[in-house]
Amino acid sequence: MLNYLPRDDDRGGSRLIKDTKTIGSAYDRYLQSSQNPSFSSGEPSNFGSGARLERGVGGGMPGLLSAGETSILGGRGPVGTDLASNGRGLGFGSQLPIDPMVRPGREVLPLPPDASNTLFVEGLSPDCTRREVAHIFRPFLGFKEVRLVTKESKHRGGDPLVLCFVDFQNPACAATALSALQGYNMDEHESDSHILRLQFARYPGPRSGHGPRGKR
């Protein structure tokens, strides 16, 4: 039997990403870079190609934001992305434009030494829901899950503080989301009351780690 052979829509390239409208402004720079032809080869817009790769494991819109190509520092330079402003003294990425270990779909990304699979996010409004936070992170490639933690305010009568931990499949994916959403204002018109601050989680733990530690 001839099984349905995959249409050459990945080759034809006639199909462009058209769902980009639905994404908010915070993702624009990444969408722009996603449309950059230079890595359109490495990043097949796997909307139609089902049998392609299962890179979009976590989310509904895979491939929109890939952790690989946009150097988390390069795409954005302005304000204190603490990744960039850390100034580790290394020319991030400028040294190795292309690495031999680069595989299609997973380029190397200059990561800070403390990078982990899990992001620690604060600055969420007390009434934000898990679903809402998940919506923010889900478009990012490699997103796995989000866990909200509510802590009581230190001051009496203060609103409880909501923290959250976001798991990704690898530190590169986490770093991309971190860089992209750093300083993201959840309610812009409400003044800068809630601005997201993201870090790598201190103790990523078994849940985000790739198995039991102690590989050897």
Summarize as ranges the residues that interact with DNA (CB under 7 A). Answer: 118, 120, 122, 147, 149, 151-154, 158, 161, 163, 165, 167, 199-208
Q: Report, in Å, the least distance between residue 204 CB and DNA.
A: 5
Whose Cβ is closer to DNA: residue 15's or residue 202's?
A: 202
Whose Cβ is closer to DNA: residue 30's or residue 165's?
A: 165
CB atoms within 10 A of CB 155: 7
Whose Cβ is closer to DNA: residue 185's or residue 199's?
A: 199
Please give the Cα distance from 185 to 83 (Å, whole number): 19
Output DSSP code: residue 187.
Answer: S
Is residue 174 a contact partner of residue 168, using CB atoms and an 8 Å limit?
Answer: yes
Please give the Cα distance from 210 to 107 (Å, whole number): 19
Please give the Cα distance from 75 to 181 (Å, whole number): 13
Q: Report, in Å, the least distance between residue 61 CB and DNA.
A: 24
Whose Cβ is closer to DNA: residue 40's or residue 199's?
A: 199
Q: Report, in Å, the least distance between residue 102 CB and DNA.
A: 28
The length of the chain in residues reads 216
Q: Report, in Å, the least distance between residue 146 CB and DNA.
A: 9
